[in-house]
Each structure stands twice: as C-alpha cells, then as structure tokens.
Amino acid sequence: MPEQPVRAKLVDVAERAGVSKATVSKVLNGRQDLSVRPETRRRVHEAAEELGYRPHSGARALAGASTHALALLVPALANPTYVTIARGAYQRARELGYLSLLAEDFDGQEADESFNDLVQDGRVDGLLIASARPGHPLLDALSRSRVPHVFLNRSVAGSGRNVTMDVARSSITALDHLHDLGHRAVGHIAGPPGITPSEVRKEAFLRHARELGLSAAPVASGDFTEDGGVSAALELLRPADGGTRPPVTALYTSSLAQAIGAMAAVRDLGLRIPEDVSVVGNDDLPVAGHLSPPLTTVAMPLYELGTAAVEALVAAIQGQPMGDVVVPTEPRLVLRGSTAGPGETP
C-alpha cells in the first residue's frame, strides 16, 4: 500500500496542534510580536515535526514574506576558486535558514537573464555577486531594482557592500617567501585590469618589492586562465636585448590557473622549476599538489569569503545597515616543490 505522501499544509499542523493557522505561522517563524504559552509553542513544533511540515516556498514568497533563497553569481564555474566560495556560502546560508543557489554569469552575457530569472521572478531575496566588473550590465539592473546584494571578491568602489579578503597580504606573503629564498628579481603575473583583486595584488606586489629593494619586479597581465599565464610568463621570461638568461628568477601569479600556464611556459622555454625559475600561485586547491613539481601557493580563505558574504547579505536582508567587510583569516603560505633558492636544487 504505497501511502501517498501528501504534503502537510499549514492548516494540517494547526488542526493537529489545536490552534489556528496564524498561530502556527507565527510560532514557526519565531515572531516575537506574539505571546504564546510555552506549552502551546511546544505542541505546534511537535505537530509540525510529526507531519514533516515544510512551508511551500511559493506561498511564502507570495504572501509577501521572503523566499528564503539567495543566489550566488560567479563568472566561471570551471574556476574551482568559486566552487570553494560557493560551498562556504551554501553551508552558512543553510545555517541561517536560507538556500543558496548557484548561477554562472558568462561575463555579462547572461547577467540580465539570470537577474530576471532569479530576482524579477521573485525566486530569491538577495544576490551574492562575484562577477562584477566595472561597467557590468548587472550593475545597472541592480541600482534600478532594490534587491539586497553584496559584492564578493570583486569590489565596487563606494558601494559599501564589498566583502573581500586581505588580498594585498597575499602578495606580501608570497614575496617575503621568495625574498627569503634569495630571489632578487621576481616577476608578477597579474589578472586583467579593472578587476579589484587583480589590481590590489599588483599594487601590493610593487610596493612590497620596493620595500624589499628588489632589483627587478616586472609585471605582465593576463586572463585568470592557463592561457593567460602562458603568455604573461613568456613576456616576463624573455631575455633582455643581447641577454641569454631570463630577467627574473621567480614568478608570482594572481591565480592558480595562471600558475599552471606559467609552469607550462617555463618548461617550454627549456627551463627547470624550481632550479631556474621558482613559481608561486594564489589559491590553494587540490590540483596544486599534483602538478609537477607540486606548486607552492598562497592559500586564500575562500570558504570563509563565502560564509562572510552570506552573513553580510542576510543581515542586509533583515534590514541591518551594511558596510564593507574584510574576512579576518589571513592568507597562508603552502610550501611545495615549485620554489627554491635561485640556482638551487630543492
């Protein structure tokens, strides 16, 4: 006898607990504008539990309350960085009673679509946006509507809704490591211009290179991809006129994918890692440990970035004033085989 598992409705719970719909709703939502006896409260929770009651999200949304859902917009799912962020966001959202949805925003092309599908159709209460570039079409749509949102990883100047990590510190950590090993000429592979973490890393790199008195600190930009790493690395490693050895002994990249590309480029030039060129990447993900040689990285607190962003967004949804947030966890150096002193065997 396959029981038809009819969804329990609010009225069913009410009936079972011997109270009215209104009471059940208020009790379950923990509203404090209602006074109930502890005994009644208990009965309600019990009834809901026994019936396996779950409110219908559509009905809730319709009744003017919230959908209890958020959406995280990322520029590229294939980038595992965002996967880690998404996990953090999902978990924290759950703990706060929200569902975090994930949407890929193919560089603006689909931003409007996603925005419409999610926000306009009333499926989510707020957005976590990791894909905002200056001039991104989404920014318009956002300012036009009044949807709560935060920017993460990218920051939008003056928005007062940026959730970021201490990206500058990651450059300092990486550079200190290379300097300690004896490197005096280090190249930086930056991300595309206009993207906050990319710019900040570059500035911090240049500033700290001056502070350390490096003899050379050239920078080349490339996409946050393997290919971007390849071309930037080739640019940085090209010997000066008449020279035969590359002008730097180490490379520090803004993303993990760039580091992978850079390593490939180094090898293509017939150079060895780390004997001829050391490489340090950003973002510590499993693949870093399986490269050849294993890649030294700066581990960024990606998971925490996700959780912090959700906390900020939920606070905003609940009407609290927003401000920029910086994740307190510091970047941490993960030492592997891709770095050694110049000319040294590891």
Binding site for DNA (CB under 7 A): 7-11, 18-23, 25-26, 28-29, 31, 33-37, 39-40, 53-56, 59-60, 62-65
Q: C-alpha dihedral over 58, 60, 64, 67, to 10 degrees?
A: -70
Q: 127: which 2 tokens? A: 């957005």
Partner that binds at residue 292, options DNA, its own copies, none, CB closer than 5 to 8 Å by kind:
its own copies
Helix residue spans in 96-195 (DSSP H)? 111-115, 137-144, 167-181
> Of 26-34, 130-138, 209-217, 281-289, which part binds its own copies (CB under 8 A)?
281-289
- Report the distance separating Cα 70 and Cα 53, nearest Å: 22
> Of 28-36, 55-63, 172-180, 321-329, which part binds its own copies (CB under 8 A)?
55-63
- Residue partners of 329: CB distance under 8 A and separation at least 6: 165, 301, 304
Min dist CB 33 to DNA, Å, is 7
Q: Closer to DNA by CB, 8 or 141: give it.
A: 8
299 binds its own copies (CB under 8 A): no
Q: Quick count: other Cβ atoms within 10 Å of Cβ 63?
A: 10
x/- site string to its own copies, residues 83 to 122, per CB under 8 A? x--xx--x---x----x-xxxx--------x--xxx-xxx
Residue 192 main-chain phi, psi, to 5 deg: -65, 150
335 binds its own copies (CB under 8 A): no
Min dist CB 14 to DNA, Å, is 7
- Residue partners of 94: CB distance under 8 A and separation at least 6: 100
Min dist CB 54 to DNA, Å, is 7
Q: Closer to its own copies by CB, 8 or 212: give it.
A: 8
Min dist CB 27 to DNA, Å, is 8
Helix axes 256-268, 226-237, angle to 10 degrees: 50
- Residue partners of 291: CB distance under 8 A and separation at least 6: 260, 263, 338
Residue 117 main-chain phi, psi, to 5 deg: -60, -35
Partner that binds at residue 272, options its own copies, DNA, none, CB closer than 5 to 8 Å by kind:
none
Min dist CB 126 to DNA, Å, is 16
Min dist CB 78 to its own copies, Å, is 5
Please list the residues that pair with 151 across neighbouring strands: 129, 162
> DSSP 3-state assignment of 274?
coil
**Footprint on this chain of its own copies (rule: CB under 8 A):** 5, 7, 54-62, 67, 69, 77-78, 80, 83, 86-87, 90, 94, 99, 101-104, 113, 116-118, 120-123, 144-145, 225-227, 230, 260-261, 263-264, 267, 285-287, 289-292
